[in-house]
Amino acid sequence: MTRTEELRTNLAAVRARIDAAAEAAGRDPQEIRLLPVTKFHPAADLRLLVELGAADVAENREQEARGKAAEVPEARIHMIGQVQTKKANSVARWAASVHSVDSVRLAQALDRGMALALERGDRTTDVLPVYLQLSADGDPARGGVLEEDLDELVQVVEEAEHLELAGLMVVPPLDSAAGEVFDRARRLCGKIAEQTGRPMELSAGMSGDLEEAVARGSNVVRVGTGVLGARPLP
């Protein structure tokens, strides 16, 4: 089997899982988008995914994502890993969206980075969709904003000139009940939707728990191994 055939087969299998989970939950499968996570996989795989109609992919690391964005400009790369504030200018140049905004400092840095990217002609779109990463275990050292700090961060993003609040992202800790984490994030999405007056998306679910995430309202699932296979060593 060629790599193209392997990726086509894997994409179809994961999408079938998403469709089945959506139908079981009484949801429209079209409401759920798949982001293949291409971390550690070569840029050649991104090219093949684009050819297969999966141009939207996700990356965890800024340096790797930046290189792939340069090599495969037709891919739309979404940042799902933690972003250091000092890397915000770089991320603003290539990211289709950022799923890991977890502080006021980062939001403000991304807004400034967008302004700079537009001034330099590095971007053609003047708004960057962002998801606020919710801290599921209350330990912000692991990434994520505490629930009690969400309102402030929502306000900062809403006031930013070049950011657009798209929703929440969450990653359940290994020792947690994933369904409860997804339910909590979905409720918070609803609260933010009421505050902003528009729908909010939930970015939740990976290879091992996508069915549970879809059942609890996820709109974006981020799947690495299920699509790309085992990750090569970095």
- pLDDT tens digits for range 87-131: 999 999 999 999 999 999 999 999 999 999 999 999 989 999 999
Residue 177's pLDDT is 92
Residue 157's pLDDT is 98
| Per-residue pLDDT band at 141 (split at 50, 70, 90) | confident
CB atoms within 10 A of CB 208: 11
Residue 234's pLDDT is 56
| Per-residue pLDDT band at 138 (split at 50, 70, 90) | confident
Residue ranges making up the domain that contains 181: 3-227
Average pLDDT of every residue of the chain: 96
- pLDDT tens digits for range 4-21: 999 999 999 999 999 999
Q: Is residue 234 part of a domain?
A: no
| Per-residue pLDDT band at 174 (split at 50, 70, 90) | confident
Find residue 41's DSSP bridge partners. Answer: none
Residue 196's pLDDT is 96
| Per-residue pLDDT band at 151 (split at 50, 70, 90) | very high
What's the rounded Cα separation, in Å, for the pair 197 and 189?
12
Q: What is the largest CA-CA distance in the chain?
A: 51
Looking at per-residue pLDDT, the higher value among 233 and 179 belongs to 179
Q: Judge contact between 216 and 181, C-beta under 8 A.
A: no
Average pLDDT over residues 71-83: 97
Q: Is residue 96 part of a domain?
A: yes
For strands 128-133 and 33-36, give the pairing: unpaired
Q: What are phi and psi of 154, to 5 degrees?
A: -55, -45
Q: Is residue 207 part of a domain?
A: yes
- pLDDT tens digits for range 57-73: 999 999 999 999 999 99
Number of domains in the chain: 1
What's the rounded Cα separation, in Å, for the pair 147 and 166?
17
Q: Is residue 205 part of a domain?
A: yes
Write down the pTM of the prediction.
0.96
| H or E element, residue 11 | helix 3-24
Q: Is residue 233 part of a domain?
A: no
Single-letter residue type at 160:
A
Q: Is residue 232 part of a domain?
A: no
Average pLDDT over residues 19-40: 97
CATH number at residue 147: 3.20.20.10
Q: List all residues 6 or more positions away from 87 whose beta carbon is below 8 Å from its beta carbon.
A: 62
